Structure 1
Amino acid sequence: MFTHVMIGSNDLERARAFYDATFVALGAEPGEMDARGRLIYSHEGGRLMITTPIDGKPATAANGGTIGIAAASRDHVLAWHHAGTEHGGSAIESPPSQRPNGAFVAYLRDPDGNKLTARTVPAK
């Protein structure tokens, strides 16, 4: 459905430290900076791009927005959450836990305040 998700950052190096750590914890490669100065993460057909806003105004997080990231296992979710809190992210909502529908989830805010979740669902 989507070709990519783009979010803004006020400090790309700080964002890179956070996202490199969290995506590597999920088994992905560290991000790459493209010729236009955007940080790009590609994994399993998905793409997350991080940039400073082109209008010159500060980047702000979406109120009510969450970016969901697929994880292969409960251990990957836990590693993602740990890596995020160790690299400038903030733990939010409940601690990593299993939901009534069987999904295991964790929530973080990145250093710019964007809300993220890593989620895995056991095979049926």
Structure 2
Amino acid sequence: MFSFITLGTNDLKKSKTFYDELLESINIINVENEDGWFSAYAKKTSLNKIEFYLIRPHNKKEATFGNGTMITFSVDSKKAVDSFYHLALKLGAVDEGKPGPRHDEHYYAYFRDLDGNKICAFCSD
């Protein structure tokens, strides 16, 4: 359904460092950079298909997070959800909901990244 997702950032270097390590843990790696403007990420299994961008806003205004907006990464297991969440917190993210089952019995964890974007890790395992 979607071609790719873009998150704005006010500090591309700091955000790239955060996402490089975090996304590597779920086999997504940095594949392209335009210094000071964007960083692009793809799954290790499909390096030519960029699915996630970090970007400095083109209009030169401050990047802000959306109220009610959330990006969810699908991972393979509850253990992967736990690891992704704990690594994010170690890298400076803020807790928005500890790992665990939710209303539909799927397993989720929530945090805010360095720019305040709400991120979720999910598995149906």
Quick check: 6-15 or 39-48, which moved more?
39-48
Structure 1 residue 32 and structure 2 residue 35: aligned?
no
Normalised by the size of structure 2, how large is the TM-score? 0.87
Report the Cα distance in structure 2 between the residues aligned to 1:86 and 1:10, rounded to whole angstroms: 20
1:24 to partner: Cα distance: 1.7
Amino acid at match of 1:113: G
State the Cα deviation string for residues 67-109 of structure 1 (Å, max 9, x = none).
Answer: 01111111111111111111121111x3110123221100010
Unaligned runs of 5+ in 1: none
1:27 to partner: Cα distance: 2.8
* Shift >6 Å, 4+ stretches: none
State the Cα deviation string for residues 36-84 of structure 1 (Å, max 9, x = none).
Answer: 6311111266711010000000100011100011111111111111111
The aligned counterpart of 1:55 is 59
Unaligned runs of 5+ in 2: none
The aligned counterpart of 1:118 is 121
Bigger proportion of residues as strand: 2
Normalised by the size of structure 1, how large is the TM-score? 0.88
Amino acid at match of 1:22: L
Q: CA RMSD in A?
A: 1.7
1:10 to partner: Cα distance: 0.4
Report the Cα distance in structure 1 between the residues aligned to 2:110 and 2:34, rounded to whole angstroms: 31
SS for the counterpart of 1:108 is strand
1:113 to partner: Cα distance: 0.4
